[in-house]
Chain A
Amino acid sequence: MKFDPSTDFGLLLAVLLIPLIGYTIQIFFGKKLPRQGDWMLTGGMGVVMLITVYLAIKAIAAGAHGDGHAVDFLHSSQDHGFAFKWLFDEAKGPGLLNVVAGILYDPLGAVMLAVVGIVCFCVHLFSIGYMQGDRRYHIFFANISLFSFAMLGLVLADNILFLFLFWEIMGLMSYLLIGHFSQDPSNPFFHRWATWASKKAFLTTRIGDCLLFIGIFIFYREFTTAWETVPAFKEALPRFQPFLFTDMWEMGRLVVAQNGGEFPAWMTAAGLCCFGGTIGKSAQFPLHIWLPDAMAGPTPVSAMIHAATMVAAGVFLLGRMYPLMSPEVLAVVTVVGATTALFAATIGMVVYDIKAVLAYSTISQLGFMVAAVGMGGLVAGMFHMVTHAFFKACLFLSAGSVIHGCHHVQDMRLMGGVRKHMPVTFVCMLVCTAAIAGVYQFSGYFSKDAILLAGWASVLDNAVFSGWNLYALISLAIAAMFTAFYMFRLIFMTFFGEYRGNLETHMYSAQIAAEGVEGPEPHAHDDHHGDEHGHDAHLPHEAPLRRNPMTISLVILAVFAVPGVAALLNGWITHLMTPLSMYGPTAGAFAAEKISEGILDHDSHLGRQAHYLAVGVSLFVATAGIVAAWFLYVRRRDLPEVITTKLGLVYTAVRRRYFVDEMIDIAFIQPTLKLTTFFRTFDEKVVDGFVLLNGSIHKGLAFFMAWIDKTIVDGLVNLVGLVSQAFGAATRLLQTGRIQQYAAFAVAGGLLLASWLILS
């Protein structure tokens, strides 16, 4: 099976258009469609999934044919005359000011597209069951459809401007979906929380988006200037398009080569700005604060945001911009990623909301990916993004299933023993937890192992050694242990022991309300399941398969995490994704210089050493974490309380999320509010004062003018009237109406005339 441009680009366009058309129909007619249009959109996503998987199989086949370094699978639709021309002057052809958008289908895009297709389809399918009876059911489906569209478009875009467009659509959709319950009057807590969380997510990611936009335009400005001034660049790239990824990579290579192999300072600045976009979108420290609150949205949305769409976009951007990142930028990327991974993992160990645990684990895993890219493990980072997308989507949907089953309770202290009531969910969640914890042969094991391998390779090789990488490696190892611990803590608290749903509900809800740091208070089970569980309404229950396809999507996603399938995935992706296949021969070779995985190939001794260390460490930390969780939450359940009281202040700090929210509040939000208050006062007092003064002056002037008008002008007019009135009154005296008098006047006049005639 080879990639056939003439039909396959059409299919890729269909992938983009199906959810968009579905959204358009749904938003206008959704309420009137049968079942409010859910099957229409889910079916559309199913078609999208089939196409993306079909095309991904083609990519994997290409990877299997190549020997891992000579895979030729970079297809740009512009080479085949298949492009959307925007701001285009036909007479001049492609130029610096024209934007031509096409589809870039490369190994990274192929894999990511399939991931997005599968996860989005599963989320759609899951939502049919989970969102049943929701007030805004059809709007919800329309929104997740457009969300999928934005992510698919972002993966397919071949220029950074269109990537940014889809990036922004995604920001908007995350806002709308996190705030899905913000119009629900039945639950005031959720109402407030969703409103606040959606605003927070939108504004926080906006900071990163601004930086990304600045970064894009630094690249644009510098590249176009360089291209216009240096003749060699013009020769090398006669049809240079400054936003096109392939041209940007090539141009980056040329600029660095011209600069004597060093990255110019502006490329570091621009790279940092672009990484700012990743920090915002992929929830890296310190802009991670929006992600835990994003769970205010419905659980399927959390699955979508945390797995395949929103946060993956930031890591995907790193993959796209990798050749343009200078070593200094990559050092920053490493440190930020490693810090985030460790920092979020510690918080994940202490929270009690089942979704909050998963949210912090997402932040932590994103830190792994980002740090991997920074340490030179580009493929490892991208591979972890893929495995993480599957198991995190499955974990979230399983959590949703548990929440659904436990009557919309999210606090793990109110769960327990759910294993017996929800066996399918338990198995799926256990598989995915094993994957995220890095248990041998599960999917997360391979990707985490690859990350640690890249890290060890960069640390062991004296030529590329840097302290930052060592710091990152240690942080990631500890974070991996914490990950194993808190994920199995979640499993033990939720699925083992006895069901605690009926005990002390009030105490816990009061405690949560007092802490005010996480989750909605557990509230009475609302009646939207109907009567499907009449007699055992207080026990958890699996979603009934026949009426409700929730469990199917769990199983689909969990399959990608099980041993065997995971090993296959690992083989496929490592064969398919290499710098050369991702960025083309020249730019790929240029990018490969920064990639530490390359070291392993030409130094077999070092490679073996790094490999043993990586496997050893990852297996050790996973086992240690799981055993610790088992000991604390199954064997000695009294111990956690003892430990938390011993830790005291440290525990409180972690429990309150290291006060990052409060610090940001003090450092940025309060000054901003003060500044706005000042400006408001300035506006009200000074600017309004001037306006009012001006008004008063005009008012006085107007009074004076009115006086002149009334007395002088009107007086003159009245005088004319009066004069003619008086004259009229005088002459009216002659008009008596008596005929005889008139006759007398006539005779007198006649006599006068006659006497004048005679006498003269």
Chain B
Amino acid sequence: MGLGAYVAVSAALFALGVVAIIVRRNVLYVLMGIEMILNAANINFVAFSHFQGGALDGRMFAIFTIILAAAEAAVALAIVLNVFYLFDSVRPSEADLLRE
């Protein structure tokens, strides 16, 4: 299997993540969509580093991204909790204070 297959999986995953962010009604699914986008990027990092001479820098980026995703999830969940306290809901469409 060549590089194209990896990139295709990554692109599909990214597309799914974006769709999840835009259309899901629960904020947790939106967070999951963000994770999917990050992981789509990870696949690309690893795939490109493997097919272009096997240097380690692509894999190192992937590990950084995973750590970053973990931190992001922690912050995001804290925000979600606060949003829940504020709006009594976890629907992103309810939290529309930005309109003001």
Contact = CB atoms under 8 A, between A and B. Distances in A.
Q: Do A and B come from one complex?
A: yes
B43 interface: no
Interface in A702-754: 735-740, 743-744, 747
A735 B99 CA distance: 6
B92 A737 contact: no
Contacts of A738: 92-93, 96
B95 interface: yes
B96 A740 contact: no
Given A744-B22, A747-B22, A739 B99 contact: no
B97 A737 contact: yes
Nearest to B97: A737
B99 A737 contact: yes
Contacts of A740: 21-23, 30, 92-93
Interface in B1-21: 18, 21
B24 to A, nearest CB: 8
Task: Classify the secondary structure of B's interface with A.
Answer: helix
Interface in B57-100: 92-93, 95-100
Nearest to A748: B22
Contacts of B18: 743, 747
Interface residues of B, number: 13
A135 to B, nearest CB: 81
Interface string B12-54: 0000001001110000001000000000000000000000000
A738 B99 CA distance: 8
A737 B92 CA distance: 10
A737 B22 contact: no
B73 to A, nearest CB: 17
A567 to B, nearest CB: 120
B96 A736 contact: yes
A744 B23 CA distance: 9
Contacts of A737: 95-100
Contacts of A743: 18, 21-22
Which of the listed residues B21, B97, B100 has the most CB atoms from chain A within 10 Å of its own CB? B21
Contacts of B97: 737
Contacts of B92: 738-740
Contacts of A736: 96, 99
B36 to A, nearest CB: 14
Nearest to A735: B99
Contacts of B93: 738, 740
18 contacts: A735-B98, A737-B95, A737-B96, A737-B98, A737-B99, A738-B92, A738-B93, A738-B96, A739-B98, A740-B21, A740-B23, A740-B30, A740-B92, A740-B93, A743-B18, A743-B22, A744-B22, A747-B22
Which 3 pairs show the lowest CB-CB distances between chains A and B? A737-B99, A737-B96, A737-B98
Given A737-B96, A738-B92, A740-B21, 5 more contacts: A735-B98, A738-B93, A740-B92, A740-B93, A744-B22
